[in-house]
Amino acid sequence: MDNYIYFILLFLVLLIIYYFIKDNKNIKDNKENKENFRNNKNDRIIHISGISGSGKNYLLEKIKIYFRGNNKILYIDSDEIWNKESEKILNNFKILDNEIEIGKKLDYLSNKKTTEEIDKILENNKNNYKMIIIVGHTYKIFKNNKYNFEKYYINENKNIVYKRLMKRNFENFLINKDYVMQILNDDNINNIMKPFYIRLKIRNMAPFPCNFLEFQDIYEDFLEMYKQQNYNILSQDEIFNLIINN
């Protein structure tokens, strides 16, 4: 009887030791998995969009200053890529019947080429960075895209954005006045094409100047479009805090 009790106690002790070792191993494995997830996975690809004048570049600079010295973050300005690709396309563009058709075709080709270029950048760098931040409203993130994006759209006071945009466009016109005059005087460029060269140079494809009611309609259209694409519609400060704290 004593031997029987002894074997039962021994069995219980061994059982306790087994489960203790197993639990410790699970805890260790979970900890290692989390560490590997943090160290080896490119866990954040962020797209920040917003209408012209919403403060995308300002927000990007603020993020860069906060993460200064961190070489594991890649910053991509999709508007810069879009402008370069648009200039290439425009220089080889066929003269169409009207400005509207040229605008639609240019927008489609430029967006398509910008998407292709950024996809190449992501593919070549997806394992080299902990965070990739794309800023610009021209980059289209399609539903079948293989990357999992955090998507943010800047929503600020329309009056402030309108004033900022008109002021910026006016300043860019002044800075590039010689270029604008050169385009206007160039007889080798069709008159229908000239506004597109000028708009690309001042980094704004919208009409300038436009009245506030016209701008307000454009603002609401963009807002609705990005809502349908499941972007987080937030202020600059809210987006900044989410990026630095997550």
Mean pLDDT of 36-61: 77
> Cα 133–54–121 angle (5° rounding)?
25
**Domain spans of the chain?**
1-41, 42-245
- Checking if the pLDDT of 53 tops 60, the result is yes
- Which tens digits make up the pLDDT trace of 108-148? 888 888 888 998 998 898 888 999 999 987 666 555 567 77
Round to whole Å and give the CA distance between 34 and 50. Answer: 34
Q: Residue 97: what pLDDT?
A: 62
Under CATH, which number does the domain 42-245 receive? Answer: 3.40.50.300
Q: Residue 43: what pLDDT?
A: 75
Please report which confidence band the pLDDT of residue 96 belongs to, taking 50, 70 and 90 as the band edges: low
Mean pLDDT of 88-97: 74
- Checking if the pLDDT of 237 tops 60, the result is yes
Query: The pTM is what?
Result: 0.75
Nearest residue to 170 via CA among 158, 157, 180: 180
- Checking if the pLDDT of 38 tops 50, the result is no
Q: Tell me what the pLDDT averaged over the chain comes to.
A: 81
Alpha carbon separation from 73 to 32, 84, 132, 134, 202 (Å, rounded): 23, 23, 6, 11, 29
Round to whole Å and give the CA distance between 106 and 84. Answer: 12
Q: Residue 199: what pLDDT?
A: 85
Please report which confidence band the pLDDT of residue 98 belongs to, taking 50, 70 and 90 as the band edges: confident
- By CB atoms closer than 10 A (0-12, 13-18, 19+), residue 183 is middle
Q: What order of strands is seen across the sheet that includes strand 73-77?
A: 73-77, 131-135, 44-49, 149-154, 232-234
Please report which confidence band the pLDDT of residue 77 belongs to, taking 50, 70 and 90 as the band edges: very high
Alpha carbon separation from 205 to 106, 125, 174, 179 (Å, rounded): 11, 30, 17, 16
Mean pLDDT of 158-186: 92
φ/ψ of 93, rounded to 5, equals -80, 140
Mean pLDDT of 49-53: 90
Q: Residue 206: what pLDDT?
A: 65
- Checking if the pLDDT of 161 tops 90, the result is yes
- Which tens digits make up the pLDDT trace of 213-233? 999 999 999 999 899 888 999
